[in-house]
Structures are given as C-alpha cells and as structure tokens.
Structure 1
Amino acid sequence: VAIDEALHDVRNKSLLPVPIHLKDSHYKGASQLGHGEGYQYAHAGEEGWVDQDYLGVEKEYYRPVERGYEATIRKRLDVFKQRRKKTGTDEDTRS
C-alpha cells in the first residue's frame, strides 16, 4: 500500500530532496539559488496538466488497481503516461 511504502521510506531515512523547481522562490535570494526555476503551473496547462517531475527520482508509491474508482484513476494516469511519451519524458514511475 502506498502509505506503508512512504512511511517505510521515512522511517528508514530514505527521504528525497525537494526538486529545485519546487523550492520556495518568494524570498530575497531565492533566484540566486535557482529556486523555482523551470516550475510549470499545472493549472495553466492543457486540462490542468503539465509534464513536470514532482518527485525528483524514479519512485512510485501509488499504483491503482483495476476495480472500482481506482480503475478510472488508472485510465487517467495512463493518459498522462501517453502524453509523457509524446513529450519525450517517458518515465512510468512518476507519481
């Protein structure tokens, strides 16, 4: 289960650094550190989606199953994966 995997990583100090484009850019000196550079506002993208990495590493916690509403979510995630293939960032492990 996703939460168990995430908790395991936290407990074992397998913590991930925050990608630079997601770091706070609203303070003096942030731009000198590169904070916020390359950030894309998802709501401005097609259907509220942009091809942007939010985790920084190849790691996947959530893997929806083929039943109930998760089947609908899985189909939507598959659409995003297809879009990534078209943009040349075919990484199936983003979440």
Structure 2
Amino acid sequence: IGEARRDVCEGRILPVPVHLRDKHYGGAKRLGHGEGYQYAHDHPDGIAAQDYLGVEREYYRPTDRGFERELAQRLETIRVRLREGREE
C-alpha cells in the first residue's frame, strides 16, 4: 500500500477512464461516460480484458507462502487471460 500512497502523494494520479465513469445522470451519454464498459460477469471466468488503471502498475505482490501462493496462481491465470483477450 505504501507504493500506492506514494503515487498519490507525489501527484502520480490519473483521471478515471471514461468507460468507468458514472453514466446515470443527464449529460453523461453526451460525454461518453460508461461507453465501452465490459461487465466482467458476462465474460468467461469473470475476467474482462479491459484496462481499469490506465498504466502498467502493480501494487500487490503475493508471497509464495500460505494462501498468498494460491492468490499468486490465480493472478497469473488472470494475467494470461487478459493478454489473450487483448490480442483478439
């Protein structure tokens, strides 16, 4: 969490991507808010190959011990699916 806090404190912040912005108010459609959003539950394994951060950043690095080992395996599966989805 320290890296994420540093990024914020040092001004390394980005605007929310347009497809993630609220589309439930007047004028949102005109601004394109919510357009292109992919609902993860509509995709195989609940993984949508969509960019949510806008930059290549990794704040969580699981250890190879205990339950974190399982999380690391799941994260690798997700990364593979995301790469495959972006190549399509």
* Aligned-partner residue type, residue 72 of structure 2: R
Once the 2 structures are TM-superposed, how far is the Cα of residue 13 of structure 1 from its aligned partner?
A: 1.4
Once the 2 structures are TM-superposed, how far is the Cα of residue 53 of structure 1 from its aligned partner?
A: 1.1
The whole-number CA distance in structure 2 between the counterparts of 1:50 and 1:88 is: 10
Secondary structure of 2:48's aligned partner: coil
The whole-number CA distance in structure 1 between the counterparts of 2:45 and 2:86 is: 19
Given the two structures, how large is their TM-score scaled by the length of structure 1? 0.82
Aligned partner of 1:31 in structure 2 is 29
Aligned partner of 2:74 in structure 1 is 76
Secondary structure of 1:52's aligned partner: coil
Secondary structure of 1:88's aligned partner: helix
Task: Spell out, residue by residue over 1:9-28, the C-alpha distance to the aligned partner (whole angstroms, 9 max, x if none).
Answer: 11111112111100011111
Once the 2 structures are TM-superposed, how far is the Cα of residue 49 of structure 1 from its aligned partner?
A: 1.8
* RMSD of aligned Cα (Å): 1.3
Mind listing any 5+ residue stretches in structure 2 that lack a counterpart?
Answer: none
Q: Which of 8, 11, 20 is matched with 2:9 structurally?
A: 11
Aligned partner of 1:93 in structure 2 is none
Secondary structure of 2:60's aligned partner: coil
Quote the sequence identity (%). 53
The whole-number CA distance in structure 2 between the counterparts of 1:81 and 1:8 is: 25
1:65 aligns with 2:63: yes
Pairing 1:18-57 to 2, within 5 Å after superposition:
18-57=16-55
Mind listing any 5+ residue stretches in structure 1 that lack a counterpart?
Answer: 90-95
